[in-house]
Amino acid sequence: MNAPAIRWWRTDLGDDEIAGVAAAIRRRRVNHGEECRDFEAALAHFVGIPHVVATTSGSVALLMALKACGVGPGDEVIVPALTFIAPAHAALWLGATVRLVDVLPHRPVLDPLAVRRSINPRTKAIVCVHLNGRAVDVAAIRADLPAGRIALIEDCAQALGSRSRAHRLGTLGDVAAFSLSISKLITTGEGGFLATADAGLHLQLAKLRNHGMLGRASTVFPEIGFNFRMTDLQAAVGLAQLRTIDARMAAVQRVYRRYQELLCDLPFIRLLEVNTGDGELPLWAEAVCAERDTVVRELAQRGIEAKPFHPCLSDSPQLRASGDFPHARRFAAEGLILPCGPHQSAADLDRVGRALREIAATITGAPLTPLS
């Protein structure tokens, strides 16, 4: 009988989440209401920022952030060439143009020098994607900006709980967008939120989420908005998850440390560094391997799922991107995510390590010593 499959991500929902949803239903808190407000307050406390607006997804959070910062037709938004496509699509939905910028050669986050070279009179916003908890050097990017003209938006979809030394990611720009989808540190199934210290932006975001209103309409809908509201049922799940966030952070750190041990003597695959000493939180276990596709295929044959990196965004025709992005292309071609998550068992991680040792014979022709 074959061993059960190991998925690339594992996070568990249990009795606390069930109890939270049941309690919300018994109190008739089903749509957007008090549970959401409690969740927003708890998230604001955790991130360390005055204002949080819960919404339906991290992608919608990015759309709302760009809209609240005034992005529209004729504007240009700088986006890293290596990331999920959500920030680029958000810019396109608002009628803006996307300008892709390469990442650093050794670290898959925005290169501040490349950003500096890309800024022009049409630049309205820069999306700093903290990929897998790695901090973009927001201060270096901000130093090159004309005062008050260009918005700095942090994409923290993969960076909840991550720090850049003394600062939580999500507190460094004008506004930050977070994801609460299933493969994140805490999840509401689908969901997201925005964080800002700017009271004016907070007001704009709150209205955008609710068809341009702060409350119910009386005689007029004063401005453009939409229904981007989270439900109280989702918020109840989020509150239960948030109560365990310290344990979840410790768990993903343990996964990362175990992979450091498992991969240290494998010459064909390298764990991508996350600066844990500076407070960066490695949400996922990312590695690079020149034979990535072979490794993914060989792992799959052993019942182990590994996830390739997303492609370089310049290959998406709807973005109409020009330029050369060698670093983003290399990471896209060689990057993979090994099985991880706050509830990935130690036994399954060791099974991945043994499988990679078996694959070493295929890749290098020289099998290594068995995993102890």
Residue 1: what pLDDT?
42
Residues in the chain with pLDDT < 70? 1-4, 216-219, 366-369, 372
Answer yes or no: do 234 and 263 share one domain: no
Answer yes or no: do 237 and 290 share one domain: no
Residue 220: what pLDDT?
79
Give residue-wise pLDDT tens across range 1-56.
466 699 999 999 999 999 999 999 998 888 888 999 999 999 999 999 999 999 99
Say if 2 falls within a structural domain.
no
> Domain limits at 304?
245-364
For helices 346-364 and 245-263, the axis angle rounded to 10 degrees is 30
Answer yes or no: do 210 and 146 share one domain: yes
Residue 282: what pLDDT?
98
* Of the residues 215, 242, 269, the one at which a domain ends: 242
Say if 354 falls within a structural domain.
yes
Answer yes or no: do 60 and 29 share one domain: yes
* Of the residues 226, 242, 258, the one at which a domain ends: 242
Say if 234 falls within a structural domain.
yes
For helices 232-242 and 34-47, the axis angle rounded to 10 degrees is 30
DSSP β-bridge partners for residue 178: 193
Structural Rg of the chain based on CA atoms: 21
Length of the chain, please?
372
- Whether 254 and 344 have beta carbons less than 8 Å apart is answered as no
Prediction pTM value: 0.95
Residue 3: what pLDDT?
61
Q: What is the CATH number of the domain that holds 353?
A: 3.90.1150.10
Answer yes or no: do 94 and 230 share one domain: yes
Residue 372: what pLDDT?
63
Answer yes or no: do 113 and 137 share one domain: yes
Answer yes or no: do 272 and 166 share one domain: no
Query: How far does the chain reach from its first CA to its final CA, in angstroms?
Result: 24
Say if 3 falls within a structural domain.
no
Q: What is the CATH number of the domain that holds 140?
A: 3.40.640.10
Count of structural domains within the chain = 2
For helices 245-263 and 232-242, the axis angle rounded to 10 degrees is 60
Residue 187: what pLDDT?
98
Residue 211: what pLDDT?
92
Answer yes or no: do 255 and 217 share one domain: no
Answer yes or no: do 223 and 258 share one domain: no
Q: Tell how many helices (H) and how many strands (E) occur in the chain.
A: 12, 13
Say if 9 falls within a structural domain.
no
Say if 38 falls within a structural domain.
yes
Answer yes or no: do 238 and 250 share one domain: no
Say if 369 falls within a structural domain.
no
Query: Among candidates 141, 131, 371, 157, which has minimal Cα distance to 273?
Result: 131
In angstroms, the CA 196 to CA 47 distance is 10
In angstroms, the CA 265 to CA 347 distance is 19
Answer yes or no: do 320 and 235 share one domain: no
* Of the residues 213, 242, 271, the one at which a domain ends: 242
Mean pLDDT score across all residues of the chain: 94
Answer yes or no: do 105 and 129 share one domain: yes
